[in-house]
């Protein structure tokens, strides 16, 4: 048998063994799927706590509403970046996309640290209540992170640690936004510190586990 026919036979035999690969949905569509899960959690919390108290807080303290909007924007952008990093050809520079929302979230939340000075009668969270906020953010970040990891495993991002950091940021930001539904206090320094600690812990844990959780899809 001639060499060209050997090559042709080899190609045909390899082609028979190939299994079709299901094409991934676009990053924006997978982001919408994850956001639907976040929206479902929000609907349950709104059903339980109602929206009246949250809306009255926002009307009296607009910076809290801005901080919530910043958290939502951060969650959406970070989730999209996590999915986009799993698509070949997307630059790592997309990781800067959540920064504007993050700055709005941090900046508006930081204004609350002055509330006990600017508004002396404002009800601010004490240390124990701030710890409850930390527990809330961590508790909701775990399933939201797990869902994002599960959705990303088949994509096998080339930068698993960076993608995992975006997963952590998206989950923590979404959890902080959900907290607004049942948060009954103005943001004070202790509350802001625990929020920042919770977000940092979620991002760090995701970053440390990113390579292990996102790479097994190569098997």
Q: How far is the C-alpha of 112 from the C-alpha of 191, rounded, in Å?
A: 9
Nearest one of 95, 76, 41 to 207, comparing CA atoms: 95
| 88: in domain | yes
By the 8 A CB rule, do 184 and 130 touch?
A: no
Answer yes or no: is 13 within a domain. Answer: no
**What total number of domains does the chain contain?**
1
Cα 56 to its chain centre, rounded Å, is 27
Q: What is the pLDDT of residue 128?
A: 63
Q: Is residue 115 part of a domain?
A: yes
The verdict on residue 52 lying in a domain is no
Residue 36 lies in a domain: no
- Whether 50 maps to a domain, the answer reads no
pLDDT value at residue 218:
40
| pLDDT value of residue 184 | 61
Q: Does some domain include residue 77?
A: yes
State residue 188's pLDDT score. Answer: 56
Helix segments in the chain, DSSP class H = 3-17, 27-49, 52-60, 62-84, 99-111, 115-118, 127-152, 160-182, 189-214
- The pTM for the full model equals 0.82
Residue with tokens 């997307």: 90
Q: What is the pLDDT of residue 172?
A: 94
pLDDT at 191: 63
| Series of mean pLDDT values for 10-residue runs along the chain (219 residues) | 52 54 79 96 94 84 87 96 86 92 87 56 57 86 92 79 92 93 66 79 83 56
Q: Which pLDDT score, from 0 to 100, does residue 154 have? A: 72
Domain that holds residue 84: 62-218
**Is residue 122 one of the residues assigned to a domain?**
yes
């Amino acid at each position: 048998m001639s060499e060209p026919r050997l090559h042709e036979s080899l190609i045909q035999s390899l082609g028979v063994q190939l299994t079709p690969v299901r094409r991934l949905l676009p990053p924006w569509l997978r982001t919408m799927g994850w956001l639907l899960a976040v929206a479902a959690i929000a609907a349950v919390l709104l059903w339980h706590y109602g929206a009246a108290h949250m809306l009255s807080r926002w009307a009296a303290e607009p910076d809290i509403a801005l901080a919530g909007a910043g958290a939502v924007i951060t969650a959406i952008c970070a989730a999209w970046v996590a999915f986009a990093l799993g698509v070949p050809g997307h630059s790592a520079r997309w990781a800067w996309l959540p920064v504007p929302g993050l700055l709005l979230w941090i900046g508006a939340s930081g204004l609350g640290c002055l509330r006990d000075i600017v508004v002396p009668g404002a009800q601010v969270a004490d240390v124990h209540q701030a710890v409850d906020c930390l527990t809330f953010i961590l508790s909701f970040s775990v399933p939201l992170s797990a869902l994002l990891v599960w959705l990303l495993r088949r994509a096998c991002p080339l930068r698993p640690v960076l993608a995992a950091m975006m997963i952590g940021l998206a989950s923590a930001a979404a959890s902080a936004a959900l907290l607004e539904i049942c948060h009954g206090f103005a943001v004070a320094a202790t509350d802001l510190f625990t929020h920042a600690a919770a977000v940092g812990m979620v991002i760090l844990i995701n970053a440390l586990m990113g390579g292990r959780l996102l790479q097994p899809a190569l098997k």
